């Protein structure tokens, strides 16, 4: 494949949610990038509370930003044109081409179909996207975004969502076989063998698709295999005999990848320990970090840089007693600030945090977590709860604005350069305390600190190595721990190593020649139909 040949593509579908589509997509992107192929990721529609801000000020799924890093390209709104941010079990904020355009219930979003939309026309204006039946209408939008990417890059690796065999949603599908049909994309289906039933899942997924969809399903990828591949090969041969389709690779179970999860709504974090670097503490002690597992937690990836530090143990908690031995408590971002505040009070965690603050023990609030630490919240936008008292630990008043702040700021904190990204409706008025992040010239940019309590709207700030080490040294001193941050630990370097590991998985365990032919030439002709097909 050369730079003169544009427009190759592939859809990475899955038998289930969390089958490994995101990591396989990233791995293929990194493998191609290392071959000198210009490649971009794409996900037509993403449902996630973990998001990122591009340089142009557009909000996209955090997983697509990670995949763009794997492809060694700058992420843009084209790579994730539709982002759904759940606000409850039944409604989501719709982010279109990087900007929020309204809040919709699932029934309205998946409802009555409308005309196709063009992403460059007024057909996708905020007013028009606030009414029902939007998903099929948006097929034109996502297809146009994909076409633009395919006109720019040698290859575009598209990630599906859930399963393509969700027959109740096929009519309005824009992210799986609906997209594949519209863009004539070959598809490989990823299955998580660690869950069991992978052969039935591959066969059943294919057999529930319409004949036209089946014609684009070229084969399968087994993910998370443990053991001797030779024991699996008879099953793969039988699967090929039953379906007429090959398995393009068997990827082994890989521990400690630590890449960005896609969907905070589905991932249950309570009581889990964030995977960290397998390395002993650099100093004599470890640091224990407790993260409150608030409802609708967003961008919980903020603590990944802490977990990457040798000697830092990060745990998600939902009981006040679990804060007792923590050296640092983190209140993370959330898509429901007022709901999170109520949850903290109901659980008794709010009182435990207040006691910590009175004792001079470290607390850090990020975005929504920063807002709940303030004195008062006025919210007629997100929860429509009106005026609500905060925890009162920081002299901050928050008013929710209709327009969302989306930015990629840079500043200075604790004498170190710090960068991050902002995604919030809440506007903070700081009336006292000490500044947190400044412009380096004494002018405050964001956040507030009073004693041991810190708050900022900036996601990703802990990925700045110098600032993170300075902050952890302060936490260790305040906690009386003989903990020393590892001086050579670079989160950026670690992330690159993790992405290279994904590329290695594809290069070493997949039929890369066959995958390359699929990307360049499309699905092979004559793939057999498996009955019964879609209803």
Query: Is residue 207 assigned to a domain?
Result: yes
Q: Which helix (H) or strand (E) holds 126?
A: none
Query: Is residue 86 assigned to a domain?
Result: yes
Do residues 377 and 459 both lie within one domain? Answer: yes
Distance of alpha carbon 450 from alpha carbon 149, whole angstroms: 47
Q: What is the pLDDT at residue 103?
A: 78
Do residues 181 and 37 both lie within one domain? Answer: yes
Helix, strand, coil distribution of the chain in percent, nearest 5: 35, 25, 40
Q: Active-site residue among 158, 367, 425, 509?
A: 367
Do residues 19 and 61 both lie within one domain? Answer: yes
Query: Is residue 88 assigned to a domain?
Result: yes
pTM: 0.90
Query: φ and ψ at 194, to 5 degrees?
Result: -65, -25
Q: CB–CB of 82/109 below 8 Å?
A: no
Least Cα distance to 269 among 288, 304, 306, 297 occurs for 297
122 Cα distance to chain centroid = 29
Do residues 248 and 349 both lie within one domain? Answer: no
145 assigned to active site: no
Distance of alpha carbon 261 from alpha carbon 265, whole angstroms: 11
Do residues 408 and 347 both lie within one domain? Answer: yes
Spatial strand order of the sheet with 217-225 comes to: 39-42, 155-159, 8-14, 187-192, 217-225, 247-252
CATH assignment at residue 465? 3.40.50.880
Distance of alpha carbon 87 from alpha carbon 105, whole angstroms: 10
Do residues 77 and 204 both lie within one domain? Answer: yes
Do residues 303 and 189 both lie within one domain? Answer: no
As a dihedral over the C-alpha atoms of residue 26, residue 30, residue 35, residue 41, rounded to 10 degrees, the angle is 50
* Structural tokens at position 464: 């700045």
Do residues 137 and 173 both lie within one domain? Answer: yes
Distance of alpha carbon 87 from alpha carbon 92, whole angstroms: 5
Domain interval for residue 234? 8-258+496-518
Query: Is residue 429 assigned to a domain?
Result: yes
Query: Is residue 513 assigned to a domain?
Result: yes
Spatial strand order of the sheet with 312-317 comes to: 312-317, 287-292, 328-331, 363-366, 453-456, 448-450
Digits of tens for pLDDT over the chain (535 positions)?
Answer: 443 335 799 999 999 998 999 999 999 999 999 999 999 999 999 999 999 999 999 999 999 999 999 999 999 999 999 999 988 767 789 999 999 998 776 556 555 443 333 433 333 333 333 333 566 678 889 999 999 999 999 999 999 999 999 999 898 899 999 999 999 999 999 999 999 999 999 999 999 999 999 999 999 999 999 999 999 999 999 999 999 999 999 999 987 676 665 544 344 444 455 555 556 788 889 999 999 999 999 998 999 999 999 999 999 999 999 999 999 999 999 999 999 999 999 999 999 999 999 999 999 999 999 999 999 999 999 889 999 999 999 999 999 999 999 999 999 999 999 999 999 999 999 999 999 999 988 899 999 999 999 999 999 999 999 999 999 999 999 999 999 999 989 999 999 999 999 999 999 999 999 999 999 999 999 999 999 998 7
Query: Is residue 303 assigned to a domain?
Result: yes
Q: Active-site residue among 424, 425, 457, 459?
A: 459
158 assigned to active site: no
Q: What is the pLDDT at residue 102?
A: 83
Do residues 299 and 251 both lie within one domain? Answer: no
Do residues 26 and 146 both lie within one domain? Answer: yes
Query: Is residue 263 assigned to a domain?
Result: no
Least Cα distance to 510 among 198, 201, 222 occurs for 222
Eight-class DSSP state of 124: G
Q: What is the pLDDT at residue 353?
A: 98
CATH assignment at residue 232? 3.40.50.300
**What's the chain's Rg over C-alpha atoms?**
24
Do residues 210 and 353 both lie within one domain? Answer: no
Give the N- to C-terminal CA distance of the chain in Å, as an integer: 39
Q: CB–CB of 264/294 below 8 Å?
A: no
Distance of alpha carbon 530 from alpha carbon 535, whole angstroms: 13
Structural domain count, the chain: 2
Eight-class DSSP state of 273: B
Query: Is residue 531 assigned to a domain?
Result: no
Do residues 246 and 135 both lie within one domain? Answer: yes
530 Cα distance to chain centroid = 34
């Amino acid at each position: 494949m050369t730079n003169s040949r544009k427009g190759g593509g592939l859809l990475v579908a899955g038998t289930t949610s969390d089958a490994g589509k995101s990591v396989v997509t990233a791995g293929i992107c990194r493998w191609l990038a290392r071959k000198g192929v210009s490649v971009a990721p794409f996900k037509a529609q993403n449902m996630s509370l973990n998001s990122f801000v591009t340089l142009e000020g557009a909000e996209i799924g955090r997983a697509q930003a990670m995949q763009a890093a794997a492809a060694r390209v700058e992420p843009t709104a084209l790579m994730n044109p539709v982002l759904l941010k759940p606000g409850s079990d039944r409604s989501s904020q719709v982010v279109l081409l990087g900007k929020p355009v309204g809040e919709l219930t699932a029934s309205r979003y998946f409802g009555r179909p409308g005309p196709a939309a063009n992403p460059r026309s007024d057909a996708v204006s905020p007013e028009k996207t606030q009414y029902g039946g939007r998903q099929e209408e948006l097929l034109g939008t996502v297809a146009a975004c994909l076409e633009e990417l395919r006109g720019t890059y040698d290859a575009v690796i598209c990630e599906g969502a859930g399963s393509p065999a969700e027959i109740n949603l096929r009519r309005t599908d824009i992210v799986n076989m609906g997209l594949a049909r519209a863009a004539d994309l070959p598809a490989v289906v990823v299955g998580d063998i660690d869950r069991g039933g992978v052969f039935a899942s591959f066969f059943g997924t294919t057999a529930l698709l319409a004949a036209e969809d089946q014609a684009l399903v070229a084969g399968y990828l087994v993910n998370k295999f443990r053991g001797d591949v030779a024991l699996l090969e008879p099953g793969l041969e039988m699967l090929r005999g039953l379906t007429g389709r090959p398995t393009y690779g068997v990827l082994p179970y890989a521990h400690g990848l630590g890449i960005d999860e896609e969907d905070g709504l589905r991932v249950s974090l309570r009581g889990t320990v964030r995977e960290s670097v397998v390395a002993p503490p650099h100093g004599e002690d470890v640091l224990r970090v407790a993260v409150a597992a608030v409802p609708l937690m967003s961008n919980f990836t903020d603590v990944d840089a802490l977990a990457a530090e040798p000697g830092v143990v990060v745990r998600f908690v939902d009981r006040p007693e679990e804060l007792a031995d923590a050296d640092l408590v983190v209140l993370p971002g959330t898509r429901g600030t007022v709901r999170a505040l109520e949850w903290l009070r109901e659980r008794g965690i709010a009182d435990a945090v207040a006691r910590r603050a009175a004792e001079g023990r470290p607390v850090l609030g990020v975005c929504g977590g920063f807002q709940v630490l303030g004195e008062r919240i006025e919210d007629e936008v997100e929860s429509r709860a009106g005026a609500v008292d905060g925890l009162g630990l920081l002299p901050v008043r928050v008013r929710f604005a209709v327009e969302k702040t989306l930015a990629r700021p840079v500043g200075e904190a604790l004498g170190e350069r710090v960068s991050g990204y902002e995604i919030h409706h809440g506007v903070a008025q700081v009336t006292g305390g000490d500044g947190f992040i400044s412009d380096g010239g004494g002018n405050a940019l964001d956040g507030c600190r009073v004693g041991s309590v810190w708050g900022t709207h900036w996601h990703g700030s802990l990925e700045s190595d110098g600032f993170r080490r300075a902050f952890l040294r302060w936490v260790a001193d305040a906690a009386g721990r003989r903990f020393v941050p590892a001086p050579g630990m670079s989160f950026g370097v670690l992330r690159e190593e993790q992405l290279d590991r994904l590329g290695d998985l594809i290069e070493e365990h997949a039929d890369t020649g066959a995958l390359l032919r699929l990307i360049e030439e499309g699905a092979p002709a004559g793939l057999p139909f498996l009955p019964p097909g879609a209803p």
